[in-house]
Amino acid sequence: MTTIAELPPGFADKVLSAQSTFRSVMDAMARPGSVQRIVPGAGTPDRMMRGTAAIALTLFDHDTPLWLDARMAESSDVLKWLKFHTGAPVVQDTSIASFALISDGALLPALDRFALGTSEYPDRSTTVILQVERLDAGRSFELRGPGIDGAARLQASIKPFDLFERLAFNEPLFPRGIDVVLVADDAVVAIPRTTRIVSKES
């Protein structure tokens, strides 16, 4: 009868923690490339970062089909935790997922396999939540686009290394496309579909 014995807890204060996490993600989306902090208020299952767990508790519910990469999907801790706290259905089909959780960038599938939304409902696309190594050091990227005054500089060590090249596929799709949220522990950076990478140096 200890089937969920090792289950980490959810938010201690559901309303305030969810509001503050939502605010961080919203600010990250509004200012692409800026690093926002999430105040960790929840337990985290194995293989999930604190920021990812907080985002999961805030944004996922039974109406948001969820796709997990192979590393997360094989962990029964993660599956049980998500099921108990969010109730989000885990799906195998990437093209119907509202969110995709990627714990290891090497397992990121081809981006065109995700839901891209429709011209009438561009919001029905997959939001990819990608756990990365660091968002304060590493290769330097220059970002431009709506929400950025001039250019924003982002330093990050990201796997897959060609993530931004792969995200260029968003360009001809607009208004359809994929939004990406990068998480490194409690730091969050959003790369919405309108953001373009201008240059990078190593």
Residues that bind another protein (CB under 8 A): 1-2, 4-7, 9-14, 84-85
CB of residue 193 vs another protein: minimum separation in angstroms? 34
Using the minimum distance from each CB to another protein, give the nearer residue, 7 or 35: 7
Using the minimum distance from each CB to another protein, give the nearer residue, 10 or 51: 10
CB of residue 79 vs another protein: minimum separation in angstroms? 16
Given a contact cutoff of 8 angstroms between Cβ atoms, the answer to whether 190 and 25 are in contact is yes
The 3-class secondary structure across 4-72, one letter per residue, is CCCCCCCCCCHHHHHHHHHHHHHHHHHCCCCCEECCCCCCCCCCCCHHHHHHHHHHCCCCCCEEECHHH
Using the minimum distance from each CB to another protein, give the nearer residue, 15 or 110: 15
CB of residue 129 vs another protein: minimum separation in angstroms? 23
Using the minimum distance from each CB to another protein, give the nearer residue, 5 or 110: 5
CB of residue 145 vs another protein: minimum separation in angstroms? 39
Distance CA 158, CA 198 (A): 17
CB of residue 18 vs another protein: minimum separation in angstroms? 11
Helix, strand, or coil (residue 187): strand
Using the minimum distance from each CB to another protein, give the nearer residue, 86 or 127: 86
Given a contact cutoff of 8 angstroms between Cβ atoms, the answer to whether 121 and 149 are in contact is no
Joined tokens for residue 202: 């190593």
